[in-house]
Structure 1
Amino acid sequence: MKAHFKTMLLMLFVIVQNTVAQDTKRIFNTKEKNAVVSAVKTHLEESYIDLDLSKKMITELDKNLKSNKYNKITSPDEFSKTITEDLQSISKDLHLKVRFEPERIAQEKHVVSEEKQLEMEKRTALQMAEVNYGFEEAKILDGNIGYLNLTQFVDIKYAEETASATMNFLSNTNAIIIDLRSNGGGVPSMMQLLSSYFFDKTPVLLSDFYERKTNTKTQLYSFENVIGKRSINKPLYILTSKNTFSAAEAFAYTLKHLDKATVVGEITKGGANRTKRVNLNDEFTISIPYIQSIHPVTKSNWEGKGVQPTIKTNEKDAFVYAYVDAIEKTFKRNKNTTLNKIGYVFLQDKSVDNAIIVFQENVKLFPNDSNSWDSLGEAYFANQDKKNALKAYKKALELDSTLDSAKSMIQKLESKN
């Protein structure tokens, strides 16, 4: 019986695959194109978050139809990509996409039993567990600074236990760095949960939401109850890149403008509004932003603009700048010694560029400390920057004429010139 069932599933899969292959190769005629464009226009007019922009996009599509722009396109895939480009050229909305995906639509229409749905749910949970629900790395850095590399925002129905365990692991640190540089987003519930660890139990308004089609408003608050210890007054740093998107941006933007986080890195991708995927027909879908996010402080969001970092730097250097700033803000004593130790950890790990940044910051903070200049000279030398190494060693010797390590390196560098 099981073998027969597997055979039937295999046959169904092959049929669907063959159908998709045939659909991809077939000629896509003008009547079909017009029908897809018409369906796109209907959904834009009904649901897209910005009515004025939807009208402009509809005008653009009409203009392209009249100019026969789409006439030469015979591939459904190419057609969907072209329509997407036309919509995004007006809206600048990276969530707004038309896709050719008959296989996905066919699978959706296939009636699935309750038992099968439960099996699929378990499979999804297992897949999420295999990547630890996006919690890729959590550790305590020198100086008691917590670090979390979070690669996606998974629904808390799967990931609450892991999220809570991670936040509790980091709860006794002096500051926390959450790395979202490779995070493409996910679902709001994880953003809501993680945010809640940085507020007290009194619920705080995180975001308002407005749906134009139904003219309804909803709100998202921090949770009154979380598992374990909160980190209410702890410095929080959120690392971003140009690839940080959607729910990851929501987390950064929300906490930045509620004065709970320092954002370090690059301007993010710029996708703010909630999206749903709708079938246009049996072959095409549209992902359409239909609910607008509105921050309670800015009364706006980051759509098309991205989240602006508090400390702007490139993606590669974001971590070390956040780390140094965290040490500066949380250490009252032995700051010089701690930064020097961190610099040498980077040197030992062959992260010479990071070591140089740490040592440079150390000599800014402690310009009369000979050892800090000596360490900076060592980092420059490791980076084969002999000119700056010599300057640093000379400064170290100027501050301490008995510093033998600086004397030795100056002789070595000058003998090579």
Structure 2
Amino acid sequence: MTSKATPAASPAPVADVSAVIEETARLLAANYVFPEVADRLAALLRGRLEEGAYDTADPAELGARVTADLQSENGDLHLRLKFHAERLLEDGDQVDLTSLRREFAASLGGVPRVELLRGGVTLLELAPMLFRLAWAAEPLSAALTLVARADTLILDLRDTVGGDPDTVAFVCSHLLDERTHLNTQYWRAGDRYEQYWTLPHVPGARFGGAKPVYVLTSGRTFSGGEELTYNLQQLGRAVVVGETTRGGAHPRDGWAVHPHLEASIPVGRAINPISGTNWEGTGVHPDVSCPADRALDHALHLANGEPAPCA
């Protein structure tokens, strides 16, 4: 007997486009970190709705059209009406974590690769993101304890496309000796500032603050991956090798406005204590520019005092 796979159900069409746009505009006005921009964008969405710009029942197409308008004023890449092929939670609050948990498991907790290279250099890849610390502390601690014995560390963030500020601080805590102020987040809710510091203690061994660290970046490196890169670069703790990153410095929350559409809205902004600013819109510029696919080889040559192949 031959079994047949059940075809995946098609995403539910958008039966009430007006309701989706109105809820997105409401969430935007209530939560976006820049209130004046939020009001203008909410008005833009409502105006575009009246013009018929969103006349489609296809959730993927609607998400793409609305996202283009949301990013039209300041290019905020975290500001999106994001399409999900899998159905989101029904309660209209935070989006479903099922796919995120699947990514976490598939990437071994966000640590897909640890490798000893030549010359006492160790490679640690963190991808696809720096997952929330409640999940990631165990695999990260194991990996960071293992690489603590290396002479030189290459931290591969070329495919790190997001992350949690607490997890960024956890990683930095293994690469610095002194208690260090890493970043400050401004949150619109409560009009408050929150500082992020390295931890006074870590559960395993520290690589420490004296041995060389290289960070690999690409044009894909984004958000939490960029914060980790920027923190280490501003502190003079690492040499960044690769490409300029995407440029997203605004932490976001997400709300389901349709079974397959998430309103992704930045609710805060990063403020580095050294630069007084962040990498929003500009990306993190490497110290040593090199195509992403050659960055590892380049960093390995630098670490071993050899002529750089990308020079």
TM-score (structure 1 length as normaliser): 0.64
Counterpart of 2:112 in structure 1 is: 136
State the distance in 2 between where 1:162 and 1:285 align: 29
> What amino acid does structure 2 have at the position aligned with 1:83?
V
Counterpart of 1:85 in structure 2 is: 68
Counterpart of 2:31 in structure 1 is: 47
Question: Does residue 81 of structure 2 align to residue 105 of structure 1?
Answer: no
> What amino acid does structure 2 have at the position aligned with 1:82?
R
> What amino acid does structure 1 have at the position aligned with 2:220?
N
Structure 1 residue 284, shift from structure 2 partner: 4.4
> What amino acid does structure 1 have at the position aligned with 2:194?
T
Secondary structure (helix, strand or coil) at the match of 1:134 reads coil
Aligned pair in 2 of structure 1 residues 108, 149: CA closer, same or farther (>3 Å)?
same
Question: Does residue 256 of structure 2 align to residue 292 of structure 1?
Answer: no
- Residues 57 and 91, structure 1, Cα contact 8 Å, conserved in 2: no
Counterpart of 2:159 in structure 1 is: 182
Counterpart of 1:158 in structure 2 is: 135
Residues 365-391 of structure 1: per-residue CA shift (max 9 Å, x gap): xxxxxxxxxxxxxxxxxxxxxxxxxxx
Which moves more between the two structures, 284-293 or 183-192?
Answer: 183-192
1:27-38 mapped onto 2 (5 Å cutoff): 28=15, 32-38=16-22
Unaligned runs of 5+ in 1: 1-13, 110-116, 329-338, 340-355, 362-417
Counterpart of 1:10 in structure 2 is: none
- How many aligned residue pairs are there? 298
> What amino acid does structure 2 have at the position aligned with 1:325?
L
Counterpart of 1:207 in structure 2 is: 183
Secondary structure (helix, strand or coil) at the match of 2:267 reads strand
Counterpart of 2:124 in structure 1 is: 148
Q: CA RMSD in A?
A: 3.0
Counterpart of 1:380 in structure 2 is: none
State the distance in 1 between where 2:231 and 2:136 align: 21
- Residues 198 and 230, structure 1, Cα contact 8 Å, conserved in 2: yes
- Residues 123 and 155, structure 2, Cα contact 8 Å, conserved in 1: yes
**Pick from 172, 175, 178: which aligns with 1:195?**
172
**Structure holding more helix per residue:** 1
**Pick from 215, 222, 238: which aligns with 1:238?**
215
Aligned pair in 2 of structure 1 residues 129, 87: CA closer, same or farther (>3 Å)?
closer
Residues 290-349 of structure 1: per-residue CA shift (max 9 Å, x gap): 011111111111112211111111111211221222222xxxxxxxxxx4xxxxxxxxxx
Structure 1 residue 129, shift from structure 2 partner: 4.6
Secondary structure (helix, strand or coil) at the match of 1:90 reads coil
Counterpart of 1:280 in structure 2 is: 257
Aligned pair in 2 of structure 1 residues 128, 61: CA closer, same or farther (>3 Å)?
closer
State the distance in 1 between where 2:108 and 2:289 align: 30
Aligned pair in 2 of structure 1 residues 158, 39: CA closer, same or farther (>3 Å)?
closer
State the distance in 1 between where 2:286 and 2:40 align: 31
Counterpart of 2:3 in structure 1 is: none
Larger radius of gyration: 1
Counterpart of 2:199 in structure 1 is: 223
> What amino acid does structure 2 have at the position aligned with 1:143?
G
Counterpart of 1:75 in structure 2 is: 58
> What amino acid does structure 1 have at the position aligned with 2:62?
F
Secondary structure (helix, strand or coil) at the match of 1:206 reads strand
State the distance in 2 between where 1:162 and 1:257 align: 26
The structure, 1 or 2, with the larger RCO (C-alpha pairs under 8 Å, 6+ apart) is 2
Counterpart of 1:303 in structure 2 is: 280
Residues 102-139 of structure 1: per-residue CA shift (max 9 Å, x gap): 93132778xxxxxxx9xx8xx94x97455321222222
State the distance in 1 between where 2:103 and 2:19 align: 38
Secondary structure (helix, strand or coil) at the match of 2:143 reads helix
TM-score (structure 2 length as normaliser): 0.84
Structure 1 residue 164, shift from structure 2 partner: 2.3
